[in-house]
Structure 1
Amino acid sequence: MRNRQNMHIKAIVWLVALTMLTGYLPAADKTEAASNASVNSIEKVTPQKRIQFEQDKARAHMQELEERMFRLSKLIQESQPEDAARLLLGLRKAREQLILDRMGEASKMLDDLKLNQANKEQKEILILLEELKKLLLTADLGLELKLEQLRKLIDSRETLNKLIKKEELQLSNTLEQQKNKQTDRKKFQALETSERRNQKSAETLQQQLRENGAASKGICNSLSGAGKCMGGACKKLGESKPKPASQEQKKAIEQLSQAQLETKKLEEQLRKEVESLVRQHVMDQLKDMIVQQKQVREVTTKLQDRVAQKQKQALAAVRRLSQSEEKIITVCSESIELCELTQFSLVLPVALGAVREQMEFVNEGLLQGQADQEIIDDQRQIEKDLQALLDAMQEASRPVNKNGGGQCNGCKGNRNKLLAEVKMLRWMQQSVHQRTDNLDQQIAKKKISADSQQERLDLLTIRQKEIDTITGRLHSMTCPHCLGGE
């Protein structure tokens, strides 16, 4: 009976996720077709209205799905807490990304006959729905919940930074009033209003952090103390007493700073908890990207001769390949976001960013129907680059053995990770050198426009600066024993 209930719950989750995605596809596809048709004719208004009707249906369906996710999560909260958490996380994600609102915007664009804009918006919504589907169907919900918690902690710390600066400004302005011999009632009222605003921000932040449970208890206590001090400052400012008000503000700043430190500690703790799982997940994504990129290259190679003969079907097939390339770019972007979020590697997110640039150049070529040897070579190079990064990551994942192999005798750091970072950095420098050389040849042969030349030069300059910065940071992380191989 229990197993049957589990299967039923999971079936509902699957249904919600898949319907969310597939229910939106017809409107997007039809908009693209209508957009292409509208170039040749401005009389086909009726089909566009039908598409708008489909779009409105999709929006209503999305609204219903959000309501279902909420109701179902409450219904199964006790019997299936993991699936309930999954649905609530999906609901929160959908609302944070404003999917429902963006569907409404797409409908308005269709009403105004802005078909190209509507098509672009629908494609972006489809990406969000795809991400939402993955979230609802993920096998490792625990990891997703921790990553979501980490994102919220980072946002909270940034909010805390801003709040501390505001409170410091309040203190500075209060001390200015303390110097004045005459009391300016209006200025004290303005200070009181600003102080209450800061107090409200602290209370809101405290409420948000309570969702993290016992782990954020210390942070919430510090924020509660800061809020009380701000309330005391408000009272004294209302009485035009700057000296006691400033004392309360100083205490509030101390409490906020303590909350900031505790938030940072919790961030680091979460990063350590998820590092190995995220590292493995990114390696799996690299493997998937290599397989998908190889498939795109193989199809491009098969179409090469027919495209050279300018066969229409072959050209259309090459352009459709850009959809597959865009999916690879999306996976690459997800990997970069995970690396930046968990900070398990300095070099990898920047290195993946360089590979993504090459993917975007390939995608641009495919959209233009390009299937020559140059683009095939670019695709093959992307595969090699991804493989090089995967090899470096696998080396970094090697554990330190019992005899201390892989561990630095000085700083006790993981030398395998450091060597992997250096290898990725070396790959980046080689990649920038190769791309610079290729650009040089294109300029010499006059195969590139002035605008494209400048765009690529700017990207290469950015990458070289990033390499220089990362080299300095890696050097600061090493000790003489690391460099000596001890």
Structure 2
Amino acid sequence: MHKRQIVTVMGLAFFVACSTLLLSANAADKTETVSKEADKSAEKIAPQKRIQFEQDKAKAHMQELEERMFRLSKLIQESQPEDAARLLLGLRKAREQLILDRMGEASKMLDNLKLDQANKEQKEILVLLEELKKLLLTADIGLELKLEQLRKLINSRETLNKLLKKEELQLSNTLDQQKKQENKKELKALETSEQRNQKSAENLEQQLREFGAGSKGICNSLAGAGKCMGGACKSLGESKPKPASKDQKKAIEQLSKAQLETKKLEDQLRSEVEALVRQRVMDQLQDMITQQKQIRDVTTKLQDRVAQKQKQALVAVRRLSVSEEKIIGLCMEAIELCELTQFSLVLPIALGAVQEQMEFVNEGLLHSKADKEMINDQKQIEADLQALLDAMIEASRPSNKQGGGQCKGCKGNRNKLLAEVKMLRWMQYSVHQRTERLDREIDKKQISETALQERINLLTTRQKEIDSITGRLHSMTCPDCLTGGE
């Protein structure tokens, strides 16, 4: 029975995603026609009203999906804890991303004939629904839960850093007040600020308790900091800044300790998921290559017909942009995973450079471009993705004394360093190629002043990133790794 209900929930997620996709397409196709239809007989139902009705239906289905995920997760909590965790994670994601609210906003935009805005909003909702669908259908929910924990831990550490700075400012202001007389008003303001800091520490402690035994030390440190802040509040309320400053110093010590422990737990989580995330990113790269080749094959077949300005061919090329946008979405997911787990310095920046090229291709497809230059750009994306995938495969090779790849100094995996350097070299070559291409366009006067400045700024940014990453990579590498000693 429960299995059937889970399948129903998954099916509903599919239905909501498909409904929104159709709405997005309708809004795009009918943007121009609605204004014309609005002038016709009032007896006819305006196109935007029909689309709005479908949008409201999609919103109702989304609300039903959220309710079912919650009820079913409670029902199967003991018998199927993994599926229950999957449903709760999906529900939390949906509510954090305000999918239901955004569907309501899209409906209002349609009602107000803001079709371009509604179309854009629907596309963004669709991306969120696709992510939700993947989450509900993923085979490895354990990895998703750990990644979600890692995201929360990072947010908690950032909140903790801000709290530490606030408490340091509190101490500085309290020390200043020790030198003054008749300062009850200022001390009252400091007491109020200290109470806010204490509340923040308590809230943060509560959030981190869900990490279980792993966060026990952090929670104890935060509890200690909160207690010291409470003592400082009392002293400030009694116009005694000197004892308040002593409690504040102790609170800062406890917060600093919690900060170190949080970073340690964060690194531990990253270590646990690194291998699985590497494999997922490699799978995503392979998917991007496969899909990009499929788009190129279709573009090649349509090339001659597009050159003849055949209407059906022009429309078919424009539709390819939907597939290109999906590849861009995959690329963005891979970048987010890289940045979240920090298993590579170079890869997220390298993927960002490839994504720029994908967006350039997507823009061309939207304008029904299917010439030799477009096909070459698509081939270049495939080659770039393959180069990054090859480097990742090399980085995944294990190191050992017999098989090679192990540094004699730090005992680390030199294959990972070599892969980073290869990706850096690819980035530099890519920037060089794009610079040469820009030079050719300038010589042939094929680019406007505005576009030229945008391209120069982009290339300058990429070059600075390469310089920065090279320096960071060098500073993080032991001398034996650099000399090649095994």
Residue 358 of structure 1 is matched in structure 2 by 357
Instruction: State the secondary structure of the residue aligned to 2:71.
Output: helix
Residue 7 of structure 2 is matched in structure 1 by 11
Within the alignment, does 1:37 sit opposite 2:33 as a pair?
yes
| Distance in 2, Cα, partners of 1:297 & 1:373 | 11
| Distance in 1, Cα, partners of 2:270 & 2:437 | 39
Residue 305 of structure 1 is matched in structure 2 by 304
Residue 397 of structure 1 is matched in structure 2 by 396
**Kept after mapping to 1: 8 A contact 2:339/2:348:** yes
| Distance in 1, Cα, partners of 2:323 & 2:437 | 26
Instruction: State the secondary structure of the residue aligned to 1:207.
Output: helix
**Kept after mapping to 2: 8 A contact 1:13/1:137:** no
Mapping for residues 85-484 of structure 1, pairs under 5 Å:
85-180=85-180, 182-403=181-402, 405-484=404-483
Residue 72 of structure 1 is matched in structure 2 by 72
Deviation at 1:168, TM superposition (A): 0.9
Deviation at 1:131, TM superposition (A): 0.3
**Kept after mapping to 2: 8 A contact 1:278/1:338:** yes
Q: CA 1:317–1:105 in structure 2 vs 1: closer, same or farther (change >3 Å)?
A: same
Amino acid at match of 2:166: K
| Distance in 1, Cα, partners of 2:26 & 2:299 | 26
| Distance in 1, Cα, partners of 2:239 & 2:321 | 66
Deviation at 1:244, TM superposition (A): 0.9
Q: Which moved more, 1:212-221 or 1:261-270?
A: 212-221
| Distance in 2, Cα, partners of 1:77 & 1:20 | 25
Q: Which moved more, 1:127-136 or 1:403-412?
A: 403-412
**Kept after mapping to 2: 8 A contact 1:20/1:133:** no
Instruction: State the secondary structure of the residue aligned to 2:446.
Output: coil
| Residue in structure 1 matching 2:18, options 17, 22, 27 | 22
| Distance in 2, Cα, partners of 1:81 & 1:23 | 30
| Distance in 2, Cα, partners of 1:269 & 1:125 | 34
| Distance in 1, Cα, partners of 2:426 & 2:20 | 41
Q: Deviations over 1:300-355 (max 9, x none)?
A: 01111000000111000000000000000000000000000000001100000000
**Kept after mapping to 2: 8 A contact 1:56/1:107:** yes
Deviation at 1:43, TM superposition (A): 2.7
Q: Deviations over 1:165-204 (max 9, x none)?
A: 1111111111111111x23222122111111111111111
Instruction: State the secondary structure of the residue aligned to 2:46.
Output: helix
| Distance in 2, Cα, partners of 1:373 & 1:23 | 36
Q: What RMSD over aligned residues (CA atoms) do the two structures have, in Å? A: 1.4
Structure 1 gaps of 5+ residues are none
| Distance in 1, Cα, partners of 2:456 & 2:207 | 44
Within the alignment, does 1:81 sit opposite 2:77 as a pair?
no
Structure 2 gaps of 5+ residues are none
Amino acid at match of 1:359: M
Q: Which moved more, 1:201-210 or 1:457-466?
A: 201-210
Task: Give the TM-score, by structure 2 length.
Answer: 0.96
**Kept after mapping to 1: 8 A contact 2:217/2:258:** yes
Instruction: State the secondary structure of the residue aligned to 1:179.
Output: coil
Instruction: State the secondary structure of the residue aligned to 1:70.
Output: helix
Residue 49 of structure 1 is matched in structure 2 by 49
Instruction: State the secondary structure of the residue aligned to 2:178.
Output: helix
| Distance in 1, Cα, partners of 2:333 & 2:371 | 29
**Kept after mapping to 2: 8 A contact 1:339/1:345:** yes
Amino acid at match of 1:324: S
Task: Give the TM-score, by structure 1 length.
Answer: 0.96
